[in-house]
Chains A and B, each alone.
Chain A
Amino acid sequence: MNRTIAPAVNIADHITIPRTEELVLSNGIKVYAIPSNQGVIKIDFVFDAGKWFEQKNLVADFANKLMREGTKQKSSLAINEILDFYGCNLEEQAYFSNAGFQLYSLSRNIHQVLPLMKEMLTEAAFPESEFELLRSNRKEKHLQRLAKNDYLANRLFLSNMWGKTHPYGRVTELENFDEMRVTDVHDFFYQHYHAGNCFIILAGEYTDATIKQIDELFGAADWKKQPSTPILHQRSMGQTLIIHQEKENAVQTSLMVGNATITKTHPDFDELTIVNTLLGGYFGSRLMANIREEKGFTYGIYSSLSAYQHGAIFEVSADVGKEHKDATFHEIKKEMQRLQTELVDDEELQTVKNYMSGRILRSVDGALRYADVLKGLLLFNRTPESINNYMHAIQSIDANRIQELAQQHLQFDSMYKVSVG
């Protein structure tokens, strides 16, 4: 056996997307059901109820979190006792555009908790005491986060990039907690959480009875309203590109470099994700190889490309030894320029292509994981087949195109550079 020779590798150029059933409930809600047979089920309720729609900071988040803290008939404790008794987990998330709930359950128990889910969605009561409790605990958590340099860096980064009135740049200030009233939260909830604003993804083991129950509960006419009207938000960019906040006792600096970049509807977007991966999107990336594996300045440095409904953000972030701050910025710039001036060699490009193909394969492995991917596709009006188009885009890109994209979209000098520590 010759151990110096790598075994042959085979990369599939097409992947099998898990089967999805599409149903429409009596009131028009779309349900996407991804079957599997592992005895568990996850149901994702997605609403147009994110930060984009709020008039006051934090309201979207509080509306999302407080749904489970009391209905007209049941106290917070009564609700949580039922969920816990059946071993169910209910998770809440409010993002920039959408917000919603994920209900995890053993398949054999799901019918016990779906009526409660409907009750929360339609009769959430927003008790003043629960609101006050969440407010004081969130304030504490906010103060705890302000002690972290990476959190501070992210605030400066986003608020300068978008402006403090834009949902993407509107960072939490202590006074926001006191400006909010429970009625704001209540009103927001009933304005945005309803059948006219919702789709459902069901993944796991379910039966016809499950679907029938979902239609009876969530397909009813009693919670249908007009869809949320989109709000226009103006971006107001900060003029200062370089921002440093000194922390005397810090042993490390949290730094970020980036800008608002092309959105998912732009024809270059999918290909730009390949450039991003090459630069800093995986362990073998150029930033990791240079700044961690060669210089040892950091435990980890990554770049990312995050697409939202109304914008996209490219960013590089790392915590580096305080003495390495300037050198790290310099190396980030150098790596971006290298992508613009030198063609990537075949081996590195093929590694990134294969790595990304494998990552897509992992992301759609199993019904539960695929549900998250499908949600992302639906929010951007993409079809499941677009996954294979993406695979194809990855496998067919060449070095010239990579260079061209880097020249167009990775302009270090016009990016924001933030450091705290």
Chain B
Amino acid sequence: MCSIYIPTQQLSFYIRNPMNQIHTFTLENGLRVIIQEDFSTPLVVVNTLYQVGSRDEMPTQTGFAHLFEHFMFEGSVNIPEFDAPLEFSGGESNAFTTSDYTNYYNILPAQNIATALWLESDRMLSLAFEQESLNVQKRVVCEEFKEHYINQPYGDVWHKLSALAYKTHPYRWPTIGIDLSHVENATMEAVKAFFEKYYHPNNAVLAICGGIKKQEAEVAVRHWFSAIPSGKRVERAWPTEAPQAEARVLEVRADVPSNAIYKAYKMGKRTDSEYIALDLLRDAIAACDTAYLYLDLVKEKRWMSSITCYLTESLDEGLFVIEGKLMDGIAIQDVDEAIQLGIAKAVANLTENDLQKLKNKVETFWRFSETNLTNRAHNLAFFEMLSTASDYFDEFEKYNAQSLSTIKETAFRVFQNGKSNTLYYLKPITQ
């Protein structure tokens, strides 16, 4: 229950399926609703996305959006517990927090959809705001922090890397927060203010997918959500990150089993077209067994035991990250140089045939994720947050339309050493 979203190599979007149609409407209170009928399943997913993430936090109160996500399961104004009634209906629930948004989903037998709508609408209306629940969730989140970010080799990489890559934008801290004290110091007053500011229908998207008729789903949604008052429009303002002028390198030492390198290149927003080009390029650079850096550094030179790359997929300026672990006795500067050189070669060598391969890989991933109801509901909500839910049907076409020259131009623009943020994560010096 409740997890931090860590950027992975996974893509998240879907291909057009003529069988799939969506029904969308907006309630008077501003809640945007998307319904997709799918009678191939006896289940339904109710996915609620709130547009608030760790970028909305104050620098003195980091980790708050995620702590709040935990608190959302601690009972609402009319219902003492969130999970138990959902489990009683045969369902299950979870949530995750990113830098930009917080996503809650329930999967349950379709005939019991009212249970999920009842629970979700009540916690959108208001929470129980019990001090003891907050105290417990602060402890739980501190244990989560310890489990994943302190008591783990390389656990604080995102703390280091985000602070290196961003100097003024709130992306400079990770979703879990800068340190334990920020979580420990969270007050009920701040929790209430956060709810007031961000958790209202006009800052949310509700997506429903599964074995339910759209008219019935609409009636049920209107029944449970219409009376929730809308909130004040969210105004966002934070210092824009100044363009990075030169390469940044940070060296840290810790008790880790092998040396590791992390290189993060500044790139555009999720909605910029360069995102698509770079996402395709992942498999040419380091994300699969035929990628250039994997062949060069893991298979040929045998300098590294692993290498991969991924995009942060963020609403503001994001990162293209390459990371890997070094074999013993290899100089990290040599690896760093080889990565820079390798990216340039991977891009220069890219042929039309390679591009077709990249597109085919994306298409397979896309098609398989489409078979997952939970993914589909999340993505409809995600695309609605970006602009319009139906955009996700056209998303694969954007990949398919990429030309070799666009991809190469994008790569030359993004993979400049002056835009790189490199972390050398080294093991202790031995005598």
* Measured CA separation A319–B91 after assembly (Å): 26
Do A249 and B255 have beta carbons less than 8 Å apart? yes
Do B43 and A283 have beta carbons less than 8 Å apart? no
* Measured CA separation A106–B368 after assembly (Å): 9
Report how many residues on chain B are interfacial, defined by Cβ distance under 8 Å: 79
Partner of B360, one of A39, A80, A87, A321: A87
Do B109 and A12 have beta carbons less than 8 Å apart? yes
Do A365 and B257 have beta carbons less than 8 Å apart? no
Partner of A11, one of B90, B118, B137: B90
Do B368 and A355 have beta carbons less than 8 Å apart? no
Known: A40-B367, A143-B258, A252-B147. A7 touches B84 (CB 8 A): no
* Measured CA separation A366–B223 after assembly (Å): 31
**Taking the complex as formed, is A384 at the interface, i.e. its CB lies under 8 A from any CB of chain B?**
no
**Taking the complex as formed, is A250 at the interface, i.e. its CB lies under 8 A from any CB of chain B?**
yes
**Taking the complex as formed, is A303 at the interface, i.e. its CB lies under 8 A from any CB of chain B?**
no
Do A140 and B136 have beta carbons less than 8 Å apart? no
Q: Mark A314-352, 1 if CB is under 8 A from B, else 0.
A: 000001110000000000000000000000000000111
Q: Mark A70-103, 1 if CB is under 8 A from B, else 0.
A: 0000001100110011111100000000000000
**Taking the complex as formed, is A168 at the interface, i.e. its CB lies under 8 A from any CB of chain B?**
no
Known: A3-B79, A9-B115, A84-B357. A296 touches B152 (CB 8 A): no
Give the secondary structure class of B's interface.
Answer: helix
Min CB distance B10 to A, Å, is: 12
- CB nearest to B147 among chain A residues: A319
**Taking the complex as formed, is B28 at the interface, i.e. its CB lies under 8 A from any CB of chain A?**
no
Query: Which residues in B have their C-beta under 8 angstroms from that of A350?
Result: 88
Query: Which residues in A have their C-beta under 8 angstroms from that of B299?
Result: 76-77, 133
Query: Which residues in A have their C-beta under 8 angstroms from that of B93?
Result: 283
**Taking the complex as formed, is B290 at the interface, i.e. its CB lies under 8 A from any CB of chain A?**
yes
Query: Which residues in A have their C-beta under 8 angstroms from that of B365?
Result: 87
Min CB distance B338 to A, Å, is: 17
Interface pick from A146-154, A182-190, A226-234: A146-154
Min CB distance B153 to A, Å, is: 4
**Taking the complex as formed, is B306 at the interface, i.e. its CB lies under 8 A from any CB of chain A?**
yes
Min CB distance A147 to B, Å, is: 4
* Measured CA separation A77–B294 after assembly (Å): 11
Query: Which residues in B have their C-beta under 8 angstroms from that of A266?
Result: none
Do A104 and B364 have beta carbons less than 8 Å apart? yes
Do B298 and A137 have beta carbons less than 8 Å apart? yes
* Measured CA separation A295–B17 after assembly (Å): 47
Interface pick from A24-32, A356-364, A405-413: A356-364
Query: Which residues in B have their C-beta under 8 angstroms from that of A86?
Result: 360
* Measured CA separation A278–B83 after assembly (Å): 14
Known: A136-B305, A147-B257, A284-B87. A358 touches B92 (CB 8 A): yes
Do B89 and A319 have beta carbons less than 8 Å apart? no
**Taking the complex as formed, is B192 at the interface, i.e. its CB lies under 8 A from any CB of chain A?**
no
Do A283 and B327 have beta carbons less than 8 Å apart? no
Do A10 and B370 have beta carbons less than 8 Å apart? no
**Taking the complex as formed, is A45 at the interface, i.e. its CB lies under 8 A from any CB of chain B?**
no
Do A362 and B364 have beta carbons less than 8 Å apart? no
* Measured CA separation A249–B85 after assembly (Å): 41
Do B289 and A84 have beta carbons less than 8 Å apart? yes
Partner of B151, one of A7, A146, A421: A421
Interface pick from B53-61, B138-146, B165-173, B415-423: B138-146
- CB nearest to B363 among chain A residues: A87
Partner of B305, one of A16, A141, A298, A358: A141
Query: Which residues in B have their C-beta under 8 angstroms from that of A1?
Result: 223-224, 227
* Measured CA separation A89–B87 after assembly (Å): 35
Do A362 and B107 have beta carbons less than 8 Å apart? yes
* Measured CA separation A284–B89 after assembly (Å): 13
Do A140 and B84 have beta carbons less than 8 Å apart? no
* Measured CA separation A252–B151 after assembly (Å): 7
Query: Which residues in A have their C-beta under 8 angstroms from that of B306?
Result: 137, 140-141
Known: A351-B87, A358-B108. A298 touches B325 (CB 8 A): no
Min CB distance A373 to B, Å, is: 15
Q: Mark A236-260, 1 if CB is under 8 A from B, else 0.
A: 0000000000000111100000000
Known: A3-B118, A89-B364, A144-B257. A294 touches B136 (CB 8 A): yes
Q: Which of B9-60 contact A (CB under 8 A)?
A: 17, 40-43
- The CB with the most chain B CB atoms within 10 A, among A36, A38, A249, A295, is that of A38
Do A252 and B143 have beta carbons less than 8 Å apart? yes
* Measured CA separation A296–B142 after assembly (Å): 9
- The CB with the most chain B CB atoms within 10 A, among A10, A295, A362, is that of A362
Query: Which residues in B have their C-beta under 8 angstroms from that of A89?
Result: 364
* Measured CA separation A292–B74 after assembly (Å): 12
Do B151 and A250 have beta carbons less than 8 Å apart? yes
* Measured CA separation A9–B1 after assembly (Å): 23
- CB nearest to B224 among chain A residues: A1
Known: A361-B109, A365-B42. A144 touches B258 (CB 8 A): yes
Query: Which residues in A have their C-beta under 8 angstroms from that of B283?
Result: 84
Do B257 and A292 have beta carbons less than 8 Å apart? no
What 3 A-B pairs come out closest when comparing CB atoms?
A: A296-B139, A358-B90, A87-B360
A-B contacts, 15 of them at CB < 8 A, read A3-B77, A4-B78, A7-B112, A16-B42, A38-B367, A80-B288, A81-B290, A86-B360, A133-B302, A284-B87, A296-B142, A319-B146, A354-B90, A357-B90, A361-B109
- Residues of chain B having any CB pair with chain A under 8 Å: 1, 17, 40-43, 77-79, 83-85, 87-93, 107-109, 111-112, 114-115, 118, 122, 125, 135-144, 146-148, 150-153, 223-224, 227, 255-258, 283, 288-290, 295, 298-299, 302, 305-306, 325, 327, 353, 356-357, 360-365, 367-368, 370-371, 373
Given contacts A7-B114, A80-B290, A106-B367, 13 further A-B contacts (CB under 8 A): A1-B227, A4-B79, A6-B79, A38-B371, A84-B357, A84-B360, A85-B356, A133-B299, A141-B305, A249-B255, A299-B140, A358-B89, A366-B41
